[in-house]
Amino acid sequence: MSEKVYVFDTTLRDGEQVPGCQLNTVEKIEVAKALEVLGVDIIEAGFPISSPGDFNSVVEISKVVTEPTICALTRAVEKDIDVAAESLKYARNKRIHTGIGTSYYHIHLKLKSNPEEIIERAIAAVKYAKKYVDDVEFYAEDAGRTENEYLARVIEAVIKAGATVLNIPDTTGYCLPQEFGEKIKFLKENVKNIDKAIISTHCHNDLGMATANTISGVINGARQVEVTINGIGERAGNTSLEEVAMILKSRKHLGLDTGINTKNIFSTSKLISGLMNMPVQPNKAIVGRNAFAHSSGIHQDGVLKNRENYEIIDPADVGISESSIDLTARSGRAALKHRLSRLGYDLKKQELDAVYEKFLLLADKKKDIKDEDLQVLIGKEENKVNQAMKLEKLQVLCGKSAIPTATVTLNFNEELFTETASGNGPVDAAFNAIKKLVHTRFKLEEFLVQAITRGSNDLGKVHVQIENKGRYYYGFAGNTDIITASVEALLDAVNKIV
Ligand code: KIV
Ligand code: ZN
Protein backbone atom coordinates (compact mmCIF):
# COMPACT_ATOMS: atom_id res chain seq x y z
CA MET A 1 0.00 0.00 0.00
CA SER A 2 1.57 3.32 -1.06
CA GLU A 3 1.64 6.44 1.07
CA LYS A 4 -0.22 9.50 -0.17
CA VAL A 5 1.71 12.55 -1.40
CA TYR A 6 -0.60 15.57 -1.61
CA VAL A 7 -0.43 17.60 -4.80
CA PHE A 8 -0.63 21.36 -4.27
CA ASP A 9 -0.94 23.02 -7.67
CA THR A 10 0.23 26.61 -7.92
CA THR A 11 -0.16 27.10 -11.68
CA LEU A 12 -2.68 29.86 -11.01
CA ARG A 13 -0.46 31.68 -8.53
CA ASP A 14 3.29 31.07 -8.91
CA GLY A 15 2.79 29.82 -12.50
CA GLU A 16 0.76 32.82 -13.45
CA GLN A 17 3.53 35.18 -12.32
CA VAL A 18 5.28 34.53 -15.66
CA PRO A 19 5.39 37.85 -17.56
CA GLY A 20 2.86 37.96 -20.39
CA CYS A 21 1.00 34.83 -19.26
CA GLN A 22 -1.73 36.40 -17.14
CA LEU A 23 -5.17 34.82 -17.37
CA ASN A 24 -8.55 36.41 -16.88
CA THR A 25 -11.08 35.03 -14.39
CA VAL A 26 -12.96 32.95 -16.97
CA GLU A 27 -9.72 31.32 -18.10
CA LYS A 28 -8.65 30.70 -14.52
CA ILE A 29 -11.93 28.94 -13.82
CA GLU A 30 -11.36 26.72 -16.85
CA VAL A 31 -7.89 25.85 -15.56
CA ALA A 32 -9.14 25.22 -12.02
CA LYS A 33 -11.84 22.85 -13.32
CA ALA A 34 -9.22 20.98 -15.36
CA LEU A 35 -7.02 20.71 -12.28
CA GLU A 36 -9.97 19.28 -10.34
CA VAL A 37 -10.48 16.63 -13.05
CA LEU A 38 -6.75 15.93 -12.98
CA GLY A 39 -7.13 15.12 -9.28
CA VAL A 40 -4.96 17.72 -7.54
CA ASP A 41 -5.60 18.03 -3.80
CA ILE A 42 -5.05 21.75 -3.34
CA ILE A 43 -5.38 24.60 -5.84
CA GLU A 44 -3.51 27.79 -4.97
CA ALA A 45 -5.94 30.08 -6.74
CA GLY A 46 -4.20 33.41 -6.27
CA PHE A 47 -2.74 36.16 -4.07
CA PRO A 48 -5.96 38.08 -3.33
CA ILE A 49 -4.43 41.27 -1.89
CA SER A 50 -2.32 41.73 -5.04
CA SER A 51 -5.15 42.93 -7.30
CA PRO A 52 -8.97 43.04 -7.57
CA GLY A 53 -8.67 40.58 -10.49
CA ASP A 54 -6.80 38.05 -8.35
CA PHE A 55 -9.29 38.50 -5.51
CA ASN A 56 -12.21 37.96 -7.86
CA SER A 57 -10.65 34.86 -9.39
CA VAL A 58 -10.27 33.23 -5.96
CA VAL A 59 -13.92 34.05 -5.19
CA GLU A 60 -15.20 32.60 -8.47
CA ILE A 61 -13.01 29.49 -8.36
CA SER A 62 -14.19 28.86 -4.78
CA LYS A 63 -17.79 28.84 -6.00
CA VAL A 64 -17.36 26.28 -8.78
CA VAL A 65 -14.53 23.98 -7.74
CA THR A 66 -15.64 21.79 -4.88
CA GLU A 67 -13.38 18.77 -4.54
CA PRO A 68 -9.88 20.24 -3.99
CA THR A 69 -9.02 22.63 -1.18
CA ILE A 70 -8.83 26.21 -2.43
CA CYS A 71 -5.84 28.11 -1.11
CA ALA A 72 -5.04 31.83 -1.07
CA LEU A 73 -1.56 33.29 -0.56
CA THR A 74 -0.69 36.11 1.84
CA ARG A 75 2.33 37.80 3.33
CA ALA A 76 2.62 37.75 7.14
CA VAL A 77 0.43 40.85 7.21
CA GLU A 78 -3.02 41.09 8.84
CA LYS A 79 -4.63 43.00 5.96
CA ASP A 80 -3.46 40.33 3.47
CA ILE A 81 -4.96 37.63 5.68
CA ASP A 82 -8.29 39.48 6.05
CA VAL A 83 -8.57 39.82 2.26
CA ALA A 84 -7.58 36.19 1.66
CA ALA A 85 -10.20 34.99 4.16
CA GLU A 86 -12.85 37.12 2.46
CA SER A 87 -11.92 35.74 -0.99
CA LEU A 88 -12.30 32.18 0.30
CA LYS A 89 -15.74 32.66 1.79
CA TYR A 90 -17.49 30.37 -0.74
CA ALA A 91 -14.84 27.63 -0.70
CA ARG A 92 -15.97 24.24 0.61
CA ASN A 93 -12.43 23.39 1.76
CA LYS A 94 -10.21 26.42 2.35
CA ARG A 95 -6.62 27.12 3.26
CA ILE A 96 -4.66 30.29 3.96
CA HIS A 97 -1.01 30.17 2.92
CA THR A 98 0.97 32.73 4.90
CA GLY A 99 4.66 33.17 5.55
CA ILE A 100 7.79 35.23 5.69
CA GLY A 101 11.43 35.15 4.53
CA THR A 102 13.82 33.25 6.79
CA SER A 103 17.20 33.36 5.03
CA TYR A 104 19.93 35.84 5.92
CA TYR A 105 19.16 37.73 2.69
CA HIS A 106 15.46 38.01 3.39
CA ILE A 107 15.73 38.82 7.10
CA HIS A 108 18.46 41.44 6.85
CA LEU A 109 18.47 42.76 3.31
CA LYS A 110 14.82 42.49 2.28
CA LEU A 111 12.84 42.79 5.52
CA LYS A 112 15.50 44.84 7.43
CA SER A 113 14.69 42.82 10.51
CA ASN A 114 16.34 40.27 12.80
CA PRO A 115 15.84 36.53 13.37
CA GLU A 116 13.87 36.86 16.62
CA GLU A 117 11.45 39.41 15.21
CA ILE A 118 10.86 37.18 12.19
CA ILE A 119 9.83 34.30 14.47
CA GLU A 120 7.41 36.62 16.29
CA ARG A 121 5.90 37.81 13.00
CA ALA A 122 5.57 34.24 11.76
CA ILE A 123 3.75 33.16 14.93
CA ALA A 124 1.46 36.19 14.81
CA ALA A 125 0.53 35.58 11.15
CA VAL A 126 -0.33 31.92 11.74
CA LYS A 127 -2.41 32.75 14.83
CA TYR A 128 -4.22 35.48 12.93
CA ALA A 129 -5.00 33.19 9.97
CA LYS A 130 -6.22 30.53 12.42
CA LYS A 131 -9.03 32.90 13.45
CA TYR A 132 -10.48 32.40 9.97
CA VAL A 133 -9.58 28.82 8.95
CA ASP A 134 -8.36 25.58 10.49
CA ASP A 135 -6.08 24.77 7.60
CA VAL A 136 -3.12 27.17 7.70
CA GLU A 137 0.00 26.58 5.65
CA PHE A 138 3.16 28.45 6.60
CA TYR A 139 5.99 29.16 4.12
CA ALA A 140 9.53 29.95 5.19
CA GLU A 141 10.51 31.90 2.10
CA ASP A 142 14.04 31.12 0.85
CA ALA A 143 14.23 28.10 3.18
CA GLY A 144 16.67 26.64 0.64
CA ARG A 145 19.26 29.19 1.80
CA THR A 146 18.19 29.25 5.46
CA GLU A 147 20.39 27.58 8.10
CA ASN A 148 18.75 24.35 9.21
CA GLU A 149 18.95 25.13 12.95
CA TYR A 150 17.19 28.46 12.57
CA LEU A 151 14.66 27.01 10.14
CA ALA A 152 13.85 24.31 12.70
CA ARG A 153 13.17 26.98 15.34
CA VAL A 154 10.82 28.86 13.02
CA ILE A 155 8.98 25.69 12.05
CA GLU A 156 8.60 24.52 15.66
CA ALA A 157 7.17 27.91 16.60
CA VAL A 158 4.59 27.99 13.80
CA ILE A 159 3.45 24.42 14.52
CA LYS A 160 2.83 25.54 18.10
CA ALA A 161 0.88 28.52 16.73
CA GLY A 162 -1.36 26.15 14.73
CA ALA A 163 0.18 25.67 11.26
CA THR A 164 -1.02 22.42 9.68
CA VAL A 165 1.27 22.42 6.62
CA LEU A 166 4.90 23.58 6.55
CA ASN A 167 6.17 24.80 3.23
CA ILE A 168 9.97 24.64 2.79
CA PRO A 169 10.51 26.60 -0.43
CA ASP A 170 13.76 26.57 -2.33
CA THR A 171 12.73 30.01 -3.57
CA THR A 172 15.87 30.69 -5.57
CA GLY A 173 16.39 27.13 -6.87
CA TYR A 174 19.76 27.01 -5.07
CA CYS A 175 19.81 23.59 -3.40
CA LEU A 176 21.28 20.35 -4.63
CA PRO A 177 19.02 17.31 -4.28
CA GLN A 178 21.02 15.75 -1.44
CA GLU A 179 21.14 19.06 0.44
CA PHE A 180 17.43 19.63 0.07
CA GLY A 181 16.65 16.07 1.18
CA GLU A 182 18.88 16.53 4.22
CA LYS A 183 17.05 19.74 5.12
CA ILE A 184 13.73 17.89 5.21
CA LYS A 185 15.29 15.04 7.18
CA PHE A 186 16.78 17.54 9.64
CA LEU A 187 13.35 19.05 10.26
CA LYS A 188 11.77 15.59 10.67
CA GLU A 189 14.39 14.68 13.24
CA ASN A 190 14.77 17.95 15.13
CA VAL A 191 11.42 19.73 15.27
CA LYS A 192 9.10 18.98 18.18
CA ASN A 193 5.61 17.88 17.04
CA ILE A 194 6.68 17.74 13.39
CA ASP A 195 4.39 14.72 12.95
CA LYS A 196 1.37 16.93 13.71
CA ALA A 197 1.88 18.75 10.37
CA ILE A 198 2.64 17.94 6.77
CA ILE A 199 5.96 19.05 5.29
CA SER A 200 5.69 20.51 1.80
CA THR A 201 8.28 21.07 -0.93
CA HIS A 202 8.19 24.13 -3.20
CA CYS A 203 11.20 24.03 -5.50
CA HIS A 204 12.22 26.48 -8.19
CA ASN A 205 14.19 25.44 -11.23
CA ASP A 206 17.02 27.98 -11.52
CA LEU A 207 19.65 25.24 -11.71
CA GLY A 208 17.35 22.68 -13.37
CA MET A 209 17.01 20.83 -10.04
CA ALA A 210 13.38 21.50 -9.15
CA THR A 211 12.05 18.00 -9.79
CA ALA A 212 15.13 16.27 -8.38
CA ASN A 213 14.93 18.39 -5.20
CA THR A 214 11.21 17.70 -4.83
CA ILE A 215 11.73 13.96 -5.15
CA SER A 216 14.59 14.10 -2.68
CA GLY A 217 12.24 15.99 -0.35
CA VAL A 218 9.52 13.34 -0.48
CA ILE A 219 12.04 10.51 -0.10
CA ASN A 220 13.08 12.21 3.13
CA GLY A 221 9.61 12.70 4.53
CA ALA A 222 7.78 15.57 2.79
CA ARG A 223 4.19 14.56 1.99
CA GLN A 224 3.04 17.52 -0.08
CA VAL A 225 4.57 18.77 -3.34
CA GLU A 226 3.98 22.26 -4.74
CA VAL A 227 4.00 22.10 -8.50
CA THR A 228 2.78 23.72 -11.70
CA ILE A 229 1.63 22.29 -15.02
CA ASN A 230 4.48 22.30 -17.56
CA GLY A 231 6.75 23.57 -14.77
CA ILE A 232 5.81 27.18 -15.49
CA GLY A 233 6.61 29.87 -12.95
CA GLU A 234 8.91 32.74 -11.97
CA ARG A 235 12.24 32.79 -13.85
CA ALA A 236 13.16 29.19 -14.75
CA GLY A 237 9.86 27.96 -13.31
CA ASN A 238 8.63 25.60 -10.61
CA THR A 239 8.64 21.84 -10.24
CA SER A 240 6.43 20.36 -12.91
CA LEU A 241 3.40 18.38 -11.80
CA GLU A 242 3.61 15.88 -14.62
CA GLU A 243 7.21 14.96 -13.84
CA VAL A 244 6.58 14.31 -10.15
CA ALA A 245 3.35 12.38 -10.81
CA MET A 246 5.03 10.15 -13.40
CA ILE A 247 8.18 9.59 -11.33
CA LEU A 248 6.13 8.37 -8.38
CA LYS A 249 3.90 6.29 -10.66
CA SER A 250 6.76 4.63 -12.55
CA ARG A 251 9.18 4.16 -9.63
CA LYS A 252 6.84 2.07 -7.47
CA HIS A 253 9.58 1.01 -5.07
CA LEU A 254 9.37 4.48 -3.48
CA GLY A 255 5.96 3.45 -2.13
CA LEU A 256 4.45 6.90 -2.80
CA ASP A 257 1.38 7.87 -4.78
CA THR A 258 -0.07 11.23 -5.83
CA GLY A 259 -3.51 9.98 -6.90
CA ILE A 260 -3.25 12.13 -10.07
CA ASN A 261 -5.43 10.94 -12.97
CA THR A 262 -2.41 10.76 -15.21
CA LYS A 263 -4.44 10.15 -18.38
CA ASN A 264 -5.48 13.82 -18.14
CA ILE A 265 -1.92 15.14 -18.01
CA PHE A 266 -1.44 15.82 -21.71
CA SER A 267 -4.77 17.57 -22.23
CA THR A 268 -4.19 19.75 -19.15
CA SER A 269 -0.71 20.63 -20.38
CA LYS A 270 -2.11 21.65 -23.77
CA LEU A 271 -4.86 23.70 -22.13
CA ILE A 272 -2.36 25.67 -20.03
CA SER A 273 0.14 26.28 -22.81
CA GLY A 274 -2.68 27.38 -25.12
CA LEU A 275 -4.33 29.74 -22.64
CA MET A 276 -1.03 31.21 -21.47
CA ASN A 277 0.45 31.40 -24.95
CA MET A 278 3.46 29.57 -23.66
CA PRO A 279 4.63 26.75 -25.92
CA VAL A 280 6.06 23.66 -24.25
CA GLN A 281 9.68 23.00 -25.26
CA PRO A 282 9.72 20.01 -27.64
CA ASN A 283 12.05 17.94 -25.46
CA LYS A 284 10.18 18.67 -22.19
CA ALA A 285 9.85 15.47 -20.14
CA ILE A 286 6.40 13.82 -20.32
CA VAL A 287 4.52 16.51 -22.29
CA GLY A 288 6.99 17.79 -24.93
CA ARG A 289 6.21 17.06 -28.58
CA ASN A 290 9.25 14.77 -28.76
CA ALA A 291 8.76 13.02 -25.41
CA PHE A 292 7.42 9.91 -27.19
CA ALA A 293 8.87 10.49 -30.68
CA HIS A 294 11.59 8.23 -32.04
CA SER A 295 13.79 9.29 -34.90
CA SER A 296 16.89 7.12 -35.14
CA GLY A 297 16.64 3.89 -37.12
CA ILE A 298 17.83 1.67 -34.25
CA HIS A 299 15.35 3.17 -31.79
CA GLN A 300 12.47 3.06 -34.29
CA ASP A 301 13.11 -0.58 -35.06
CA GLY A 302 13.34 -1.33 -31.32
CA VAL A 303 10.11 0.49 -30.48
CA LEU A 304 8.22 -1.17 -33.34
CA LYS A 305 9.32 -4.57 -32.01
CA ASN A 306 8.40 -3.71 -28.43
CA ARG A 307 7.57 -0.24 -27.14
CA GLU A 308 9.32 -0.89 -23.84
CA ASN A 309 12.69 -1.28 -25.57
CA TYR A 310 12.97 2.50 -25.60
CA GLU A 311 10.08 3.82 -23.51
CA ILE A 312 9.72 3.70 -19.73
CA ILE A 313 6.26 5.28 -19.78
CA ASP A 314 3.31 4.15 -21.85
CA PRO A 315 2.20 7.34 -23.68
CA ALA A 316 -1.41 6.26 -23.11
CA ASP A 317 -0.82 6.68 -19.35
CA VAL A 318 -0.43 10.44 -19.84
CA GLY A 319 -3.18 10.72 -22.44
CA ILE A 320 -1.06 10.57 -25.60
CA SER A 321 -2.56 8.08 -28.03
CA GLU A 322 0.70 6.52 -29.21
CA SER A 323 4.43 6.98 -29.66
CA SER A 324 5.40 8.63 -32.91
CA ILE A 325 7.90 7.44 -35.42
CA ASP A 326 9.36 10.48 -37.17
CA LEU A 327 10.75 9.88 -40.62
CA THR A 328 14.17 11.45 -41.02
CA ALA A 329 17.43 10.61 -42.79
CA ARG A 330 18.24 8.37 -39.81
CA SER A 331 15.12 6.22 -40.15
CA GLY A 332 15.34 2.64 -41.30
CA ARG A 333 13.14 0.47 -43.50
CA ALA A 334 11.07 -0.69 -40.52
CA ALA A 335 9.89 2.85 -39.82
CA LEU A 336 9.17 3.59 -43.46
CA LYS A 337 7.18 0.36 -43.84
CA HIS A 338 5.23 1.14 -40.66
CA ARG A 339 4.29 4.64 -41.83
CA LEU A 340 3.34 3.45 -45.32
CA SER A 341 1.12 0.75 -43.92
CA ARG A 342 -0.67 3.34 -41.75
CA LEU A 343 -1.36 5.20 -44.97
CA GLY A 344 -2.79 1.99 -46.44
CA TYR A 345 0.17 0.89 -48.60
CA ASP A 346 1.57 -2.56 -47.95
CA LEU A 347 4.65 -2.84 -50.12
CA LYS A 348 6.51 -6.03 -50.99
CA LYS A 349 10.21 -6.20 -50.03
CA GLN A 350 11.53 -5.17 -53.43
CA GLU A 351 9.08 -2.28 -53.74
CA LEU A 352 9.98 -1.13 -50.25
CA ASP A 353 13.70 -1.24 -51.07
CA ALA A 354 13.13 0.96 -54.11
CA VAL A 355 11.04 3.49 -52.18
CA TYR A 356 13.59 3.46 -49.35
CA GLU A 357 16.36 4.51 -51.75
CA LYS A 358 14.30 7.46 -52.95
CA PHE A 359 13.28 8.21 -49.38
CA LEU A 360 16.91 8.55 -48.25
CA LEU A 361 17.70 10.95 -51.09
CA LEU A 362 14.75 13.11 -50.13
CA ALA A 363 15.45 12.88 -46.40
CA ASP A 364 18.95 14.26 -46.95
CA LYS A 365 17.37 17.43 -48.33
CA LYS A 366 14.27 17.70 -46.15
CA LYS A 367 14.43 17.37 -42.35
CA ASP A 368 11.03 15.88 -41.70
CA ILE A 369 9.28 13.67 -44.23
CA LYS A 370 5.51 14.07 -44.22
CA ASP A 371 2.89 11.68 -45.47
CA GLU A 372 2.28 13.74 -48.60
CA ASP A 373 6.00 13.37 -49.45
CA LEU A 374 5.61 9.61 -49.19
CA GLN A 375 2.61 9.71 -51.49
CA VAL A 376 4.78 11.43 -54.07
CA LEU A 377 7.62 8.95 -53.55
CA ILE A 378 5.42 5.96 -54.20
CA GLY A 379 3.72 7.65 -57.15
CA LYS A 380 0.31 7.66 -55.48
CA GLU A 381 -0.14 11.40 -55.15
CA GLU A 382 -3.65 12.38 -55.94
CA ASN A 383 -3.88 14.50 -59.01
CA LYS A 384 -5.49 17.67 -57.74
CA VAL A 385 -6.84 18.42 -61.21
CA ASN A 386 -9.00 15.33 -60.97
CA GLN A 387 -10.23 15.97 -57.46
CA ALA A 388 -13.92 15.29 -56.98
CA MET A 389 -14.41 18.43 -54.95
CA LYS A 390 -12.95 21.81 -55.84
CA LEU A 391 -13.17 25.20 -54.24
CA GLU A 392 -15.20 27.45 -56.50
CA LYS A 393 -15.68 30.48 -54.29
CA LEU A 394 -14.83 31.60 -50.77
CA GLN A 395 -16.03 34.71 -49.00
CA VAL A 396 -15.19 35.54 -45.41
CA LEU A 397 -16.27 38.19 -43.01
CA CYS A 398 -13.97 38.79 -40.07
CA GLY A 399 -12.23 41.51 -38.11
CA LYS A 400 -12.50 43.20 -34.74
CA SER A 401 -16.03 42.86 -33.31
CA ALA A 402 -17.32 40.91 -36.34
CA ILE A 403 -18.64 37.36 -35.96
CA PRO A 404 -16.32 35.39 -38.23
CA THR A 405 -18.48 33.99 -41.02
CA ALA A 406 -17.59 32.15 -44.21
CA THR A 407 -19.52 31.24 -47.34
CA VAL A 408 -18.00 28.39 -49.31
CA THR A 409 -19.05 27.21 -52.77
CA LEU A 410 -17.78 23.80 -53.82
CA ASN A 411 -17.81 22.28 -57.24
CA PHE A 412 -18.78 18.59 -56.97
CA ASN A 413 -18.35 17.07 -60.41
CA GLU A 414 -19.43 20.31 -62.10
CA GLU A 415 -22.40 20.94 -59.78
CA LEU A 416 -22.16 23.89 -57.37
CA PHE A 417 -23.16 23.77 -53.69
CA THR A 418 -22.94 26.64 -51.19
CA GLU A 419 -23.03 26.79 -47.40
CA THR A 420 -22.41 29.51 -44.82
CA ALA A 421 -21.18 29.00 -41.27
CA SER A 422 -19.60 30.94 -38.43
CA GLY A 423 -16.72 29.96 -36.18
CA ASN A 424 -14.20 31.29 -33.70
CA GLY A 425 -12.14 32.71 -36.56
CA PRO A 426 -12.33 32.88 -40.37
CA VAL A 427 -10.59 29.53 -40.88
CA ASP A 428 -12.81 27.81 -38.34
CA ALA A 429 -15.89 29.36 -40.01
CA ALA A 430 -14.78 28.13 -43.46
CA PHE A 431 -14.03 24.64 -42.11
CA ASN A 432 -17.49 24.56 -40.51
CA ALA A 433 -19.06 25.46 -43.87
CA ILE A 434 -17.13 22.61 -45.52
CA LYS A 435 -18.29 20.21 -42.82
CA LYS A 436 -21.87 21.14 -43.74
CA LEU A 437 -21.15 20.55 -47.43
CA VAL A 438 -19.39 17.19 -47.28
CA HIS A 439 -21.12 14.22 -45.78
CA THR A 440 -17.93 12.36 -44.86
CA ARG A 441 -17.18 12.68 -41.16
CA PHE A 442 -13.60 13.56 -40.23
CA LYS A 443 -11.67 14.92 -37.30
CA LEU A 444 -9.09 17.64 -37.72
CA GLU A 445 -5.89 16.31 -36.10
CA GLU A 446 -3.33 18.89 -37.15
CA PHE A 447 -3.36 22.32 -38.72
CA LEU A 448 -0.09 23.99 -39.51
CA VAL A 449 0.41 27.36 -41.20
CA GLN A 450 3.86 28.44 -42.34
CA ALA A 451 5.09 31.47 -44.22
CA ILE A 452 7.81 30.70 -46.73
CA THR A 453 9.77 33.87 -45.96
CA ARG A 454 9.03 36.72 -43.62
CA GLY A 455 7.15 39.23 -45.76
CA SER A 456 3.44 39.98 -45.30
CA ASN A 457 2.92 39.52 -49.08
CA ASP A 458 4.36 36.05 -48.86
CA LEU A 459 2.96 32.69 -49.87
CA GLY A 460 1.47 30.82 -46.92
CA LYS A 461 1.74 27.03 -46.79
CA VAL A 462 -0.90 25.06 -44.92
CA HIS A 463 -0.68 21.43 -43.89
CA VAL A 464 -3.68 19.67 -42.39
CA GLN A 465 -4.11 16.16 -41.13
CA ILE A 466 -7.55 14.67 -40.68
CA GLU A 467 -8.70 11.35 -39.32
CA ASN A 468 -11.47 9.23 -40.78
CA LYS A 469 -12.28 5.71 -39.54
CA GLY A 470 -8.84 5.31 -37.94
CA ARG A 471 -6.92 6.37 -41.04
CA TYR A 472 -5.03 9.60 -41.49
CA TYR A 473 -5.12 11.84 -44.56
CA TYR A 474 -2.87 14.80 -45.27
CA GLY A 475 -3.77 17.87 -47.21
CA PHE A 476 -1.51 20.63 -48.38
CA ALA A 477 -1.97 23.94 -50.19
CA GLY A 478 -0.12 27.18 -50.72
CA ASN A 479 -1.65 30.58 -51.44
CA THR A 480 -0.92 34.23 -50.66
CA ASP A 481 -4.35 34.22 -49.01
CA ILE A 482 -3.90 32.12 -45.91
CA ILE A 483 -7.63 31.37 -45.49
CA THR A 484 -7.92 30.15 -49.06
CA ALA A 485 -4.79 28.04 -48.52
CA SER A 486 -6.37 26.54 -45.38
CA VAL A 487 -9.59 25.66 -47.18
CA GLU A 488 -7.74 24.15 -50.14
CA ALA A 489 -5.52 22.11 -47.83
CA LEU A 490 -8.59 20.74 -46.04
CA LEU A 491 -10.27 19.90 -49.35
CA ASP A 492 -7.07 18.20 -50.50
CA ALA A 493 -7.28 15.91 -47.47
CA VAL A 494 -11.04 15.33 -47.71
CA ASN A 495 -10.74 14.46 -51.41
CA LYS A 496 -8.36 11.67 -50.44
CA ILE A 497 -11.05 10.06 -48.27
CA VAL A 498 -13.69 10.42 -50.93
O1 KIV B 1 9.01 30.53 -4.04
C2 KIV B 1 8.48 30.87 -2.97
O3 KIV B 1 9.12 30.98 -1.92
C4 KIV B 1 7.05 31.15 -2.99
C5 KIV B 1 6.38 31.40 -1.68
C6 KIV B 1 5.54 32.61 -1.72
C7 KIV B 1 5.63 30.18 -1.27
O8 KIV B 1 6.43 31.13 -4.03
ZN1 ZN C 1 7.60 30.05 -5.58
How many Å apart are CA 485 and CA 488, to the nearest integer?
5
pLDDT at residue 164 greater than cutoff 60 = yes
How many Å apart are CA 207 and CA 175, to the nearest integer?
8
How many Å apart are CA 423 and CA 365, to the nearest integer?
38
Question: Which residue among 102, 204, 224 has the greatest number of ligand 1 atoms within 8 angstroms of its CB, and so is best to mutate?
Answer: 204
Q: How many CB atoms are located within 10 Å of the residue 209 CB?
A: 23
Evaluate whether 340 touches 363 at the Cβ level (below 8 Å): no
Tens digit of pLDDT for each residue in 77-125? 999 999 999 999 999 999 999 999 999 999 999 999 999 999 999 999 9
14 lines ligand 1 (CB under 6 A): yes
Question: Which residue among 13, 141, 165, 224 has the greatest number of ligand 1 atoms within 8 angstroms of its CB, and so is best to mutate?
Answer: 141
135 lines ligand 1 (CB under 6 A): no
- Expressed in angstroms and rounded, the spacing between residue 173 Cα and the centre of ligand 1 is 11
167 lines ligand 1 (CB under 6 A): yes
CATH numbers and ranges of domains, the chain: 3-275 (3.20.20.70), 293-377 (no CATH), 384-497 (3.30.160.270)
Query: What is the helix (H) or strand (E) element at residue 83, kind and residue range?
Result: helix 78-87
Query: What is the helix (H) or strand (E) element at residue 45, kind and residue range?
Result: strand 42-46
Mean pLDDT of 374-386: 64
Mean pLDDT, all residues of the chain: 93
User: What is the pTM (predicted TM-score) of this model?
Assistant: 0.77
228 lines ligand 1 (CB under 6 A): no
- What is the number of the ligand closest to the CA of 141? 1
10 lines ligand 1 (CB under 6 A): no
Amino acid at the residue 237:
G
- Expressed in angstroms and rounded, the spacing between residue 175 Cα and the centre of ligand 1 is 15
15 lines ligand 1 (CB under 6 A): no
68 lines ligand 1 (CB under 6 A): no
Candidate from 2-6, 264-268, 345-349, 374-378 with smallest mean pLDDT: 374-378
Evaluate whether 419 touches 436 at the Cβ level (below 8 Å): yes
Q: Choose among 260, 236, 237, 229: nearest CA to 6.
A: 260
pLDDT at residue 334 greater than cutoff 60 = yes
Nearest CA to ligand 1 atom 7: 139
Evaluate whether 31 touches 272 at the Cβ level (below 8 Å): yes
Candidate from 189-198, 410-419, 457-466 with smallest mean pLDDT: 457-466
- Expressed in angstroms and rounded, the spacing between residue 12 Cα and the centre of ligand 2 is 12
The angle at the Cα of 318, spanning 30 to 279, to the nearest 5 degrees, equals: 60
- What is the number of the ligand closest to the CA of 200? 1
Q: What is the pLDDT of residue 451?
A: 60
Share of the chain above pLDDT 70, in %: 96
Residue 130 makes CB contacts below 8 A (sequence gap 6+) with: 136, 161, 162
Nearest CA to ligand 1 atom 8: 14
